[in-house]
Structure 1
Amino acid sequence: MSASTHILIVDDEPQIRRFLRTSLGAQGYRLSEAATAAEAQAMAAKDEPDLVILDLGLPDGDGFSVIETLRAHSHVPIIVLSVRSDEQGKVRALDLGADDYVTKPFGMEELVARVRTALRHKLQVQGEAPIFRSGDLTADLVRRLITVGGREIKLSAKEYDLLRILIMHAGKVLTHGFLLREVWGPAHTEDVQYLRVYIRQLREKLEADPTLPQLILTETGVGYRLRAE
């Protein structure tokens, strides 16, 4: 990874910043650090980082305000650091525009993988890529042709719409509310069981073993993620 790729770390814990600085620096990223929401907003406006790693608990407010400020003028990928039990915080952060989250305590390999996925997503051409591949799945969004291992898969209109949204945001965590709003409209954002039915149907058609999904992954209490590669 080029050293020109700039990551802004926002966390009020010096030991976390030091750990991230050492580990991500070893991957070749250029890093800057902020300990407060105000510092983060000022540094992001000045330096325009390629990615932001953001802790939600900050001494002068919370990370939600940082997400809102960044999303008002930027599409920079944001990876949230969240405590394990804070499912509501994860959902709120993602709905405000965060791209992903990593639960504390976290492994460095997992975080680096999430960083790479978020940066790849940023570099994708805006809009729908004509061909998407992940594992045995190939989706031609121009011809509306879905194949698994070379075998054509027939999807209903809603199954296709749901898969298309997952493909457009491959690698990102999409909340239940986001998926319901995008596929069924704003009147259905509470119909989580309805969404689960369609996710199960997609898994039955696309996964080698629907009971152990490797393609459409569940983010417990939050939503779903389509494996990007």
Structure 2
Amino acid sequence: MATSSPYGSIRDRPGLARGDGQHLLLVVREPELAELLSTTLQLAGYRTSLTDSGTEALARVERHRFDLVVLDGELPDVGRLGRRRPAVLAHRPPALVLTVCDSLPGLLPELGPGKRDYVTKPFRVAEVLARIHVLLRASVPDPGRADELAYGDLVLDDARCRARRGERPLDLTPAEYRLLRHLLVNAHRVLSKAQIGRSVWGDAHGGNAIEQLVSRLRRKVDRDGPALIHTRRGFGYWLGRVDAEP
């Protein structure tokens, strides 16, 4: 790497924080900066993937597990990401935002809620490595939460087979829990009665049984909050916010 770069070099300071093979997604448009970050992070012990589009980055996070996202906050499509329907992710990576300002509201809220940090450009490589190290250390999962799935304030704990909406526990039967989980991991997708029957009972139960099961689950989940379980007449059922209707 050229020593004339305004961002410095990993060789500037020995003994910097190093990685242990964690997979980082770099979302950077400038070729020079992308090459610098990719090379630096690989030398520091990380694996990297690269894209120059915020929209593509979100699609990748939906398909693959990354330990952290490094995002250029000046990408032209970053502002539109907050208006996209949120992905339901078993793992939400923390995000380090590269920005020219010290204000982060609206920058990719889907990635790493509560686990975000930023550096202002031009930054020093040492600072980026230090911030990444802190974010990764803070994102080590709590063993009690490692098996949780969530959509908004709806949380399923697979380790304990329990569910809650906000602070309110949901008293679910095994069939209701399996149905809710199936709806949640397929959020924003309309599921037919046949698909639900196979997931909940392992066979094609009659329509009345599924309608009754969905009705009982809906009363429990949507009792005190905005409705999350919806009917698409003639097609099936789906879970999500109304403003994200499929």
- TM-score bucket of the superposed structures, by smaller chain: 0.3 to 0.5
| Greater Rg by CA | 2
Higher strand share: 1
Higher helix share: 1
